[in-house]
Amino acid sequence: MTSDTPEKSLSLKQRFDRWMIKHGRVLVIGIPYVWLFLFFLVPFLIVLKISFAMAEYAQPPYSSLFDWIEEGVTVTLNFGNYLFLLSDNLYATAYLNSIRIAAISTVITLLIGYPMAYGIARARGSVRSILLMLVILPFWTSFLIRVYAWIGILDREGLINAFLLWTGIITEPLIMRQTEGAVFVGIVYTYLPFMILPLYSTLEKMDVSLIEAALDLGCKPWKAFLKVTLPLSMPGVLAGSLLVFIPSVGEFVIPELLGGPNTLMIGRTLWNEFFANRDWPIASAVAIAMLVFLVVPIMWFQHIQTKQEERQS
Amino acid sequence: MLVPEAVLDRAHEDVHKTQPWNNPDAVPFIRFENVTKKFGDFYAVDDVSLDIYRHELFALLGGSGCGKTTLLRMLAGFEEPTSGKIYIDGVDMAGVPPYERPTNMMFQSYALFPHMNVEQNVAFGLLQDGVSRSETKQLVADMLALVQMSKFAKRKPHQLSGGQRQRVALARSLVKRPKVLLLDEPLGALDKKLREQTQFELVNIQEKVGTTFVMVTHDQEEAMTMASRIAVMNEGVINQTGTPFELYEYPNSRYTANFLGQVNLVEGVLIDDDEKYAVIKSDEGGCEIYIDHAVQGHRGMTFWAALRPERLRLTKEPPENIKYNCVSGKVEEIGYLGGISTYHVRLASGKRIKVTEPNSTRQIEPRYTWEDPVWVSWEAGAASVLNK
C-alpha cells in the first residue's frame, strides 16, 4: 500500500467506471421507471383528480380540490361524477356495447389470426420471414390513413359497391359504412397483427415432435391439433386476445369514422364529454371507470403469465 | 431395475440361438425393399434393402446425416419413401398414415405432452383407440409399474429428471403394445452412468414384452450392448449388417472397422499368398504382415490390415521372430485409465499406432514412459484384412 489513498490515484474515467459498476444497474432500470412515472402515472393522477372535481365555466373548466383557507387545506372530493355515470344508463350502455363489440372483434380476429399464425410458423425459413414482414407491413402506413381507406372501400360509392354494381349482382348500392359491421371490419383489420404475432411466437416455439407423437399414438391430424397444438398455444391465444380486446374497448377513431351514429362506444362518449360538452370532470370519471374495467383482465393475464413462467423454470 | 446378467443371457437365448437371419426359410417381420428417400437432390437413404426379424432388438448405427433416422421415420410413417417398399408383418406400408401403423415411437426429445401429467401422457394413446377408461387405468398402472414410475403418476413432465422422462416416454410408446417399437437415440439425453444402467433395463423390458425394437443410435457401445444385430450406415447406404460379434471381428470395410471400437488401419500391398496364408508388405507399418488365412485378391493389390489396439503387444525387447508382425517405435503418448493403459507409438514411417494393455497386476511404477523405444507385435490371427 502506498501512502496515497487508492481513491486519489484514480483517474476521472476510472472513478466513473467504478461508480457505474456500483450504480449502473439502478440507473438502467431507473430510466424507464422515471419515464413511466412522468408520462403515465402523473397524467393518470391529474385525470383522477379532475374526476373528483365539479364542472365550472372557468379556465380550467373544473373546480379545484384543494382550498387554501388561512391555516389549512380543505379537500373537496366530489363523487357526483361517478354517481352520475350510474344514474344515466347512456354510460352503462356505452360500456357494455364497447365490451360486446371488442369481444366479438377479438373472437373474429382470433379465428382469422390463428390459421395465419399457424401457417407462418410452419412455413419454410425464407417464406416465413416474408410472411412476417407482410403482417408488419401495414404499420408503416398511418393508422388513420388505413381507416380512411376502408371508408373508400365500404362507402356507398366505394370500391365494393362499384364493383358489385358493375358486375350486375346488385342494382342498388349496399349500405356498408356507418354500420356496426364496418366497425368490426375496421377493428379486426387494424388489430389482426397484434393477434398474429404472439400466436406466431408460441406456435413457432412448439416442438413439432409433439404433434408427431400425437399422430404416432393414434390421433388423426385434426385431433392432434385439438389435443396438443391448441392447448399448448393457449398462452399465445390469451396474449393476442388481450392485445386486441383492451385497445378495442376504448377505440374511438374506428367507430367514429366507420360506425354509424348508433354505434355507441365508450371512446366516443369520452370524446363527446371532453370536446362537445366540455365537461372535463365527467369525461375524467368515464376514463377512470374504463381503466378500472380493463385493469381486471390485465391483472388476470399477468397472473397467468407469471404462473406460466414459474412452470417453465 | 438392474437385471442380473444370468436373466439377460437366458432371455437373449431366443433370437440369438434361433438366428433367423441365418435361416433362409425365416420370414422377416420388417422388410425394406430397395428403399430410397430423396430430399430435393439429396439422397438421405439410397436403395436400402434390409430384413428385420420378430423379437429382434435391431440397431441402426451411424454418424449424423447417415440416413438412420430417415429410415426409422419411414417405418413410423412420418416420411414416405421416394421409391421402394416397406412391409411390416407382411403388410405394405405405402400410404398408411402414422396413426394407423402398428408402430409406436419413442422420440429423441421424448416429446412428452407438457400439459398432461405422467398418467395422462401414458393413457393418451389408449384413449385415442377407444379403450375403456377402466381398462386404460389398469394398463397405464401396469406399464408405470414396469418402468418404475408409479410414484410419479401425477407429476408433470417438467417436474421429472431426464431419466424419469425417458421411462415415461418408453411407457407411453409401449402401452399400446405396438408390433414394432421405434427408438430414436433412446439414451442420447442421459448422462453416461445412467445410460449404462438404462441400456440393460431397456433390454430387459424388451424381453418381457417381446416386442420387436428398432433403434437408432450413433453410440457404438450402446448398439453393441443392446442389439441382437446392427446395421452400420454411412451416407444413406447400409455398409454392413451383422451381430455385434460379426461386425467387430469381421468388418467388411475400413468404415465399419473404424466405427465399431478402435482400430489401427495399416495400408500395404499383397506380396505373397496361398490357400492358407497371405503376406502384406506395408511401408506405412514398416513391416510385413502375416495373415493366417487366404485373402480374396491378387498380388500387388492394396489391402488394409485392421489391428485392434487390445490385440497388440508392447515389449521393450524385440520378440523372437521379428520377420513378421512386429515393428519398433517410440512411445509418444500415454493414457492411464486405471483398468487399462493406452499408448500411442510413433513408428519410423511416422504412422501412429494405438495399443491398449490391461493393467492386470499392480505396478510399482508405470511400465513405459514417454520416448521409450518399444516393439509392437501381434499374432498371425489378430489382423483382419480389408480391401475397401
Q: ipTM of the predicted structure? A: 0.80
pLDDT at B199 over 90: no
Amino acid B8: pLDDT: 39
Strands B57-61 and B212-217: parallel
Distance of CA A20 to the CA centre of its chain: 36
Asked if the Cβ–Cβ distance from A213 to B111 is below 8 Å, we say yes
Chain B contact probe: residue of A202, A215, A217 with most B CBs at under 10 A: A217
Asked if the Cβ–Cβ distance from B98 to A212 is below 8 Å, we say yes
Amino acid A6: pLDDT: 56
Under 8 Å between Cβ of B71 and B241: no
Against a cut of 0.90, is the pTM above it? no
Under 8 Å between Cβ of B170 and B147: yes
Write out the three cell numbers for B335: 493414457
Amino acid A27: pLDDT: 87
pLDDT in tens, B159-195: 998 889 998 999 999 898 888 999 999 888 788 888 8
Nearest to B62 by CA among B245, B272, B215: B215
Please return the burial class of A250, using the count of CB atoms within 10 Å of its CB with bins 0-12, 13-18 and 19+. Answer: middle
Amino acid B162: pLDDT: 86
CA distances A114 to A117, A119, A121, A241, Å, are 5, 8, 10, 11
Q: Which residues of B touch A (CB under 8 A)?
A: 76-78, 97-99, 103-105, 107-109, 111-115, 124-125, 128-129, 156, 158, 172-173, 176
What φ, ψ does residue B76 adopt, rounded to 5°? -75, -20
Strands B373-377 and B326-336: antiparallel
Q: Assess whether B228 and B337 both reside in one domain.
A: no
Asked if the Cβ–Cβ distance from A232 to B115 is below 8 Å, we say yes
Q: How many domains does chain B have?
A: 2
Which one of B198, B230, B255 terminates a domain?
B255
- CATH 1.10.3720.10 domain extents, chain A: 99-204+239-258
Cis ω for the linkage preceding A60 (within 30 of 0): yes
Most confident option among A200-204, B27-31, B225-229: A200-204
Amino acid A8: pLDDT: 63
The residues, ordered by sequence, that sit 6+ positions from B188 with a Cβ below 8 Å of its Cβ are B108, B217, B218, B219
Write out the three cell numbers for B357: 494393455
Please name the residue of chain A whose CA is at the shortest distance from the CA of residue B114.
A232
Asked if the Cβ–Cβ distance from A215 to B98 is below 8 Å, we say yes
The shortest C-alpha distance from B99 to chain A (Å) reads 4
Q: Assess whether B251 and B267 both reside in one domain.
A: no
Q: Assess whether B228 and B271 both reside in one domain.
A: no
> Which CATH number belongs to the domain containing residue B305 in this structure?
2.40.50.140
Please return the burial class of B264, using the count of CB atoms within 10 Å of its CB with bins 0-12, 13-18 and 19+. Answer: buried
Write out the three cell numbers for B9: 443371457
Q: Which residue among A209, A228, A231 places its CB closest to the CB of B109?
A: A209
Write out the three cell numbers for B206: 424388451
Nearest to B306 by CA among B347, B279, B267, B342: B267
Helix (H, G, I), strand (E, B) or coil at A63: coil
Q: What is the mean pLDDT of residues B129-153?
A: 90
Helix ranges restricted to H, B3-91: 5-18, 68-76
Q: Mean pLDDT, chain A, as a whole number?
A: 87
pLDDT at B228 over 70: yes
What φ, ψ does residue B52 adopt, rounded to 5°? -125, 135
Which one of B255, B290, B308 terminates a domain?
B255
User: 3.40.50.2300, 1.20.120.350, 1.10.3720.10, 3.40.640.10: which CATH number matches A99-204+239-258?
Assistant: 1.10.3720.10
Write out the three cell numbers for B29: 417381420
Q: Report the DSSP beta bridge partners of residue B376.
A: B314, B327
Distance of CA B307 to the CA centre of its chain: 20
Distance of CA A176 to the CA centre of its chain: 26
Chain B residues in contact with A206 by the CB 8 A cut-off are none
Q: Is residue B157 part of a domain?
A: no
Q: Assess whether B306 and B381 both reside in one domain.
A: yes
> Which CATH number belongs to the domain containing residue B23 in this structure?
3.40.50.300
Q: Is residue B158 part of a domain?
A: no
Q: Helices then strands (H, E): number in chain A?
A: 16, 2
Q: What is the mean pLDDT of residues B324-346?
A: 85
Please name the residue of chain A whose CA is at the shortest distance from the CA of residue B108.
A209
Q: Mean pLDDT, chain B, as a whole number?
A: 85
Asked if the Cβ–Cβ distance from A209 to B107 is below 8 Å, we say yes
Q: Assess whether B95 and B218 both reside in one domain.
A: yes
Chain A residues in contact with B172 by the CB 8 A cut-off are 213, 217
Q: Report the DSSP beta bridge partners of residue B313.
A: B377
CA distances A101 to A303, B69, B193, Å, are 25, 51, 60
pLDDT in tens, A254-276: 998 898 888 888 888 888 888 88
Write out the three cell numbers for A265: 362506444
Q: Is residue B122 part of a domain?
A: no
Q: Is residue B145 part of a domain?
A: no
Q: Is residue B85 part of a domain?
A: yes
Q: Can you state the angle between helices A234-249 and A280-312, rounded to 10 degrees?
A: 170
pLDDT in tens, B74-118: 999 999 999 999 999 989 998 899 999 999 999 998 999 999 999
Q: Which amino acid is at B222?
A: E
Give the DSSP letter of residue B20.
G
Strands B229-234 and B237-242: antiparallel
Asked if the Cβ–Cβ distance from A212 to B105 is below 8 Å, we say yes
Q: Assess whether B51 and B187 both reside in one domain.
A: yes
The shortest C-alpha distance from B75 to chain A (Å) reads 11
Q: Assess whether B362 and B287 both reside in one domain.
A: yes
Q: How far apart are CA B253 and CA B259, in angstroms?
A: 10
> Would you tell me how many other CB atoms lie within 10 Å of the CB of residue B16?
12
Q: Assess whether B344 and B244 both reside in one domain.
A: no
Which one of B201, B229, B255 terminates a domain?
B255
Under 8 Å between Cβ of A160 and A176: yes
Q: Assess whether B280 and B336 both reside in one domain.
A: yes
Amino acid B321: pLDDT: 74
Domain residues for the domain of B318 are 262-386
Q: Assess whether B244 and B315 both reside in one domain.
A: no
The shortest C-alpha distance from A129 to chain B (Å) reads 22
Q: Assess whether B208 and B321 both reside in one domain.
A: no
Q: How far apart are CA A294 and CA B74, in angstroms?
A: 52
E strand spans, B192-337: 212-217, 229-234, 237-242, 264-273, 278-282, 287-291, 302-307, 313-315, 326-336
Asked if the Cβ–Cβ distance from A217 to B158 is below 8 Å, we say no
Under 8 Å between Cβ of B287 and B375: no
Q: Is residue B172 part of a domain?
A: no
Q: Which residue among B78, B114, B172 places its CB closest to the CB of A212?
A: B78
